[in-house]
Amino acid sequence: MSDHTPTIVQVLPALESGGVERGTLEIGRAIVQTGWRSVVVSGGGRLVGQLEAEGSEHVNWDLGRKSVVTLRHIRPFRQFLQELRPDVLHVRSRMPAWMAWMAWRGLPRHKRPRFMTTVHGPYSVNAYSKIMTRGERVIAVSNMIRRYILDNYQGVDPSCIRVIHRGIAPEDHPRGHQPDSEWRTAFRQDLPSLTEDTKLITIPARITRWKGQLAGVEVLAQLVQQGHDVALLLVGEIKDGKDSFRQELEDRAATLGVQDRVIFLGHRKDIREILAVSDVSLSLTEKPEAFGRVIVESLSLGTPVVAYDHGGAAEQLEIMLPSGRVPGGDLQRATQTVASFLSTPPTIGTEHPFTLDQMQRSTLAVYEELLSQT
């Protein structure tokens, strides 16, 4: 083992954007920094350049298309594994996992790399999703996902699951960070209906029904009715076909008399700056999310978060700001908590396990665990 340089292959559908893709790059970077060989197989995308610049190799292979045509890749991918001889095959999405697993199963046992998966979310419970539980090690991105796996899939050995939370680099979200005056001036031009004294509540999420923007509008209206000078910033893209939901949000805001206080900012690259100038961040998702890094980003900056007490949000708040948790669907409690934070900003914990370094070290430890058994 001492003379052997381990090769780790990560497989996912594409490298365009998103949490799975971001995590793949972060782990690839850690693999390279350890002195190992990092190979990523995907259908390509805008992040390939960054991946390669950070030392990983990219193999352009579309294993994520949900079509019977994709089955033709099984035999060539098996040949690829035979030639590359990786030590660990780490799959991060269902369709590529099936392709990789079927190729892997066709190898002689003594030539198989160790097979592992990461479950990034609560997939629909069916045979198609079960592939993500077949790893010799299964990474769950939160305790919620660990429970989801054990509650919904029989035969999974709990000892094979490793909970590794997603993480941020605290130095990229320093406590008390404030944008420069140039940014502030430009940002205020995007908010012409608001005054300098208007408090800002932000929901950083794509505009879709289950993400909780309607609940945010209701909370806003209650706060305004109580006399608060406050506005709601909706920061996130609107996917094709979701324009009707934006119209629904606008109509509801108009009915409640707060249409001038609901600001759609669209997709933004300056989310850190927006969170830094926000007074409260909201996460009122209708269903639990596995783990949203934007919550720990907000808290790291010092911006309090009010969130329904479920999923990964609850796990983060339990450690960093327990008073930010409210019962799911309880808009009155959510409003009360936001009002409390606006009047008296709470103390937010600074010590937490949700760091990029911890995520990388824990993932490398799983690789080492598997390598030690070969």
The packing angle between helices 243-255 and 213-225, to 10°, is 20
Residues facing residue 187 across a β-bridge: none
Cβ burial 142-178 (10 Å sphere, 16+ → b, else e): bbbbbebbeebbeebeeeebbbbbbbbebeebeeebe
Give dist(CA 223, CA 371) in Å, integer. 55
DSSP state of 35: T
Give dist(CA 263, CA 235) in Å, integer. 8
Look at residue 260 in the predicted model and tell me its pLDDT. 96
Residue with tokens 């350890």: 34
CA angle at residue 365 from 362 to 370, to 5 degrees? 135
CA atoms within 13 A on the CB side of 147: 9
Nearest one of 223, 241, 242 to 232, comparing CA atoms: 223
Q: What does the chain come to in residues?
A: 374
Give dist(CA 221, CA 256) in Å, integer. 6
What token pair was written down for 67?
């079509």
pLDDT in tens, the chain (374 residues): 457 999 999 999 999 888 899 999 999 999 999 999 999 999 999 999 999 999 999 999 988 777 667 778 899 999 999 999 999 999 999 999 999 999 999 999 999 999 999 999 999 999 999 999 999 999 999 999 999 999 999 999 999 999 999 999 999 999 999 999 999 999 998 898 899 999 999 999 989 999 999 999 999 999 999 999 999 999 998 876 668 999 999 999 999 999 999 999 998 999 999 999 999 999 999 999 999 899 999 999 999 999 999 999 999 999 999 999 999 999 999 999 999 999 999 999 999 999 999 999 999 999 999 999 87
Nearest one of 341, 352, 346, 92 to 228, comparing CA atoms: 341
Residues facing residue 231 across a β-bridge: 200
Question: Cβ-count burial of 279 within 10 angstroms (0-12 exposed, 13-18 middle, 19+ buried)?
Answer: middle
Q: Are 307 and 295 in contact (CB under 8 A)?
A: yes
Write down the H helix ranges in the chain.
19-34, 48-53, 74-84, 94-105, 127-130, 143-152, 181-189, 213-225, 243-255, 271-277, 293-301, 311-320, 331-343, 356-371
Give dist(CA 281, CA 272) in Å, integer. 12
**Per-residue H/E/C for 261-305:** HEEECCCCCCHHHHHHHCCEEEECCCCCCCCCHHHHHHHHHCCCE
**Domains by residue range for the chain, with CATH:** 7-167+355-371 (3.40.50.2000), 170-343 (3.40.50.2000)
The packing angle between helices 143-152 and 311-320, to 10°, is 140
**Per-residue H/E/C for 221-255:** HHHHHCCCCEEEEEECCCCCCCHHHHHHHHHHHHH
DSSP state of 168: B
* H-helix or E-strand spanning residue 89: strand 88-91
3-state secondary structure (DSSP) of residue 70: helix
Residue with tokens 């909201």: 282
Give dist(CA 336, CA 339) in Å, integer. 5
Q: What is the pTM of this model?
A: 0.90
Q: Are strands 114-119 and 199-204 parallel, antiparallel or unpaired?
A: unpaired
